[in-house]
Structure 1
């Protein structure tokens, strides 16, 4: 298998030099995004679905200096390493840039072999991506998973935001599993499911005799979490009175059981989740000071409709799980069912997808899941909002078929092209367009 190649950002205004670098890097199998002005790079690098492993930046640009680009992007979390190139041998500037955090500096003209060697040395360490992704196959979910792994070693509170059913608790459990606390309890509390009058006692516990029927001491979720993770789901539904007590828990690391006087130490990590936009909630429904204490490390889970690459992957996983609870007569999902799923709006996100797969597996009368099994209520009718464009559906179908061909041929592009009845060049162009150019390749 070829080593994992870097995701490189190039900031270069010279079309000849830029084109030459892009062509050589892509021939080496590396993924390159090219900007010809500093402002373009500043505005777009922070919005890329996956963080770059290296930025190669010219020092002299037509609008702002490369140093300005570096200083602006240094304000972003997870800033990629910077390597500067220039046609001017300004040693003082090189020293200043290296002291500011640049990983390297090269003067034009340079040897391409030496340039490639320095890129490999300066890129983000491979170990930061050396793991199998488990939350999804889309670029956006890879970014979420990378972020959770960076958060894992820390004790700071994490706030996971996303629509209902998008997978916030799954993300929280993953964060716990890859953290040093994985051997300790993961305690999940749904703040919207417990009656408000009982939530304080359930969260903090109570002393014997603190209220009617309190016949013995009760340990709450915060205490039972020990040194593990306390997951507060739907934190936006917590009553205001209890928010003040939660703020004390976060700030002081202690709490009081209901009816108690002695502070109890809190040693777990707090991870919260909400489908609400808490900063914009307004009307005094959520304390601003608590929000900022809980959102020290924020994570946004995108809705399923914005990560179509995950749909077929999730369907296969859910069907495999559902098949273990049926008579195993289901052989798989039909291509028509997959296309119907890609055209669906998924207002209920991943939870809706799982429920539809489980129902289809239980009720299907054929060996293959069909569109009518997934969407019986929509049979014979459709609405505009339920459909993606033809180009989106076609691209998703082509990408899945390419993945299947590569899997069947062990990553050999020539053989995969034969299976797909296209030329090797056409297949490579499609792989590049679909972001698959870093897949294992072989000319044999």
Structure 2
């Protein structure tokens, strides 16, 4: 008996399955309220939402779908976390619900012990509790949404596909997924499919037997085998040669593979997480990527947005990379000057987070003062005179304009016409400046 039993809401129309779940949960010491239709569940949950630790909801109900139940209750002040029960044909819908805020889903049929473990994890995974852990990838709404998805995906063994531009932080996201998963004590093996020559990639991933080819003087264990029960991360999966894609599909479908030159199949026990900067959905068939493999890899998708779409993360990333760089050097740097921060906020960051990290590390290595100046971050844009570095007036102007526009948008709730009035410019002029400074997403669609 648990000292603090959870209160579970169950929405299940099947009397046999519902009764079995209720009986087992109550044996575990949990209190269960059971509804057998979606409308009854909505009425019942509205009255006790703040008392429920978790709602377990079947997607297919006799009157309305579980998705409707979830959507109608999502805006309650104390909306409980939802975990869905699905059939194989409803996995896409379940993934969509997780992207909308559901904490988990289970596919029928399932083992009761695993079901109980996921219930216990799910009832603790509310959005506020995720925030208490502290976000690892950034502070913007966009990146926190991506991180929430990764944390929800962590308890599943299904493949995850991480999409995003080069340098946006896909491998960091994959490592986070591994660290918060039940596999965290097992290996995390990263493979850059674009960095290994095509003729060697099969041997590197699947391994080879002694004598499999010229120079194979002993058995070699590939990344798939060395990953054990951990995570096999396939970066730049879109660059994998077509013949090897078929073998990867077998690895995922059958959970087995053959070393090059080997006859006996090897058991694959790791989870596959892949990443790409390409739009694989548009590259199916003759265009270079197998459509069936894409759908297997993208069961649980997540996109890491580029840095230009999440300016709120720039100060956070500057601080984090500065701390890391200073800890590895003997220099004493107190921080970034206000002008350096403004220059970073107005820069488009074509190389994304990777470029920002590299610029900070270079600035720390070359800085001659306790404060990093714009010229330290962007030496190609700076002019030196004696010991003083001057920022281009255009950068200073952009920084000042950005600051004023942001204040006006905050004051008017993003309404362009009102903000333009406060700034004494036309609406067209303001919109052009917002577009140039990367502030277009701050406008309200109704303005």
| C-alpha displacement of 1:74 | 9.1
Question: Cα offset for 1:204?
Answer: 0.2
Structure 2 distance, partners of 1:217, 1:275, is: 34
Which position in structure 2 is the counterpart of 1:40? Answer: none
The answer as to whether partners of 2:343 and 2:399 remain within 8 angstroms in 1 is no
Write the distance in 2 (CA, Å) between the matches of 1:287 and 1:335. Answer: 49
Contact map agreement 2:331 2:364 (CA 8 A) in 1: no
| Offset, 1:212 | 0.8
Q: Give 1:398 shift.
A: 11
Does 1:259 pair with 2:284? no
Counterpart-to-counterpart distance in 2, 1:209 and 1:166: 41
State the aligned residue count. 295
State the alpha-carbon separation in 2 of the partners of residues 396 and 174 from structure 1. 35
The equivalent residue for 1:181 is 183
**Helix, strand or coil for the counterpart of 2:354?**
helix
Q: Indicate the residue corresponding to 1:395 in structure 2.
A: 406
1:383–1:237 CA distance, 2 compared to 1 (3 A): farther
Matched, 1:242 2:244: yes
The answer for the alignment partner of 1:132 in structure 2 is 134
Q: Which moved more, 1:311-320 or 1:273-282?
A: 273-282
Shift of 1:239: 0.3
Greater RCO between the two (CA within 8 Å, min separation 6)?
A: 1
TM-score, normalised by the number of residues in structure 1: 0.61
1:416-427 → structure 2 map (5 Å cutoff): none
1:155 aligns with 2:170: no
Query: 1:14-413 counterparts in 2 under 5 A?
Result: 54-56=74-76, 76-78=96-98, 79=100, 126-127=128-129, 129-281=131-283, 283-379=286-382, 390-391=401-402, 395=406
Instruction: Name the CA distance, whole Å, in 2 between partners of 1:213 and 1:274.
Output: 32
Q: Is the 8 A contact 1:157 1:296 kept in 2?
A: yes
**Cα distance between partner residues in 1 of 2:304 and 2:143:** 8
Distance 1:271 1:378 in 2: 39
Q: C-alpha offsets along residues 334-355 of structure 1, whole Å, 9 cap, x if unaligned?
A: 0100000000000000000000
Cα distance, 1:382 vs structure 2:
8.9
Distance 1:345 1:366, change over 3 A: same
- List runs of 5+ in structure 2 lacking aligned partners: 1-70, 78-92, 103-124, 384-391, 411-441, 443-447
SS of the residue corresponding to residue 77 of structure 1 reads helix
Distance 1:133 1:272 in 2: 22
TM-superposed deviation, 1:211: 0.6
RMSD: 3.3
SS for the counterpart of 1:160 is strand
After superposition, the Cα gap between the structure-2 partners of 1:193 and 1:392, relative to the gap in structure 1 and judged at 3 Å, is: farther
Q: Report the CA distance shift for 1:213/1:307 in structure 2 as closer, same or farther (over 3 A).
A: same
TM-superposed CA distance for 1:130, in Å, is 3.8
Cα distance in structure 1, aligned partners of 2:304 and 2:135: 15
Do 1:343 and 1:393's aligned partners in 2 also have CA atoms closer than 8 Å? no
Unaligned runs of 5+ in 1: 1-50, 58-72, 82-122, 400-433, 435-444
